[in-house]
Amino acid sequence: MERADLNTVLREAIEICRPKAENRNVTVHLTSGGRIESNVNPMLVEQAVVNLIDNAIKHSEPGQSVEVTAEVANGEIEISVEDHGCGIEREQLPRIFERFYRTDRARSRQLGGTGLGLAIVKHIAIAHKGRVAVESRFGEGSVFSIYLPTR
């Protein structure tokens, strides 16, 4: 773990995903509440955010946008990735972070999903003494969030 500026980590994650976003004609925006620092493993946090952005791009239609936000609220850091894609049915949400779980097996195979990305995100958050959450509206989009301690 090291003291890191999370905005730098987020910008690097977005840059990694930029070619895929451009190929799908999806824009990725970063909004931050200023300088946010924490003791993290920057490469692991970057990997978690890349997984979330990659999923958001995959599940977005051309011309849509993905919003990445970071802020400190209620004593913790919240990193969120929001898409305006197909969303997830309510009954599937409790299992979404399980290993190998896929909401739409046919579409996941077509898009190259293994069912491991969200489980990896969850375990990276836990390794940082954090947690994950998801909010989704079927047919409207999803917001995946990583919550990390501020120290």
- Domain ranges across the chain: 2-149
Query: If 0-12 CB within 10 Å is exposed, 13-18 middle and 19+ buried, where does residue 112 land?
Result: exposed
The helix/strand/coil state of 111 is helix
pLDDT-derived band at 114 (thresholds 50, 70, 90) equals low
Distances in Å between the alpha carbon of 7 and those of 79, 96, 102, 109?
10, 26, 30, 32
CA distance 45 to 150: 14
In this structure, which CATH number among 3.30.565.10, 3.40.50.2300, 3.90.1150.10, 3.40.50.300 belongs to the domain 2-149? 3.30.565.10
pLDDT tens digits, 33-91: 889 999 999 999 999 999 999 999 999 999 999 999 999 998 999 999 999 988 888 87
CA distance 76 to 63: 33
The residue among 68, 44, 51, 53 whose CA lies nearest residue 117 is 51
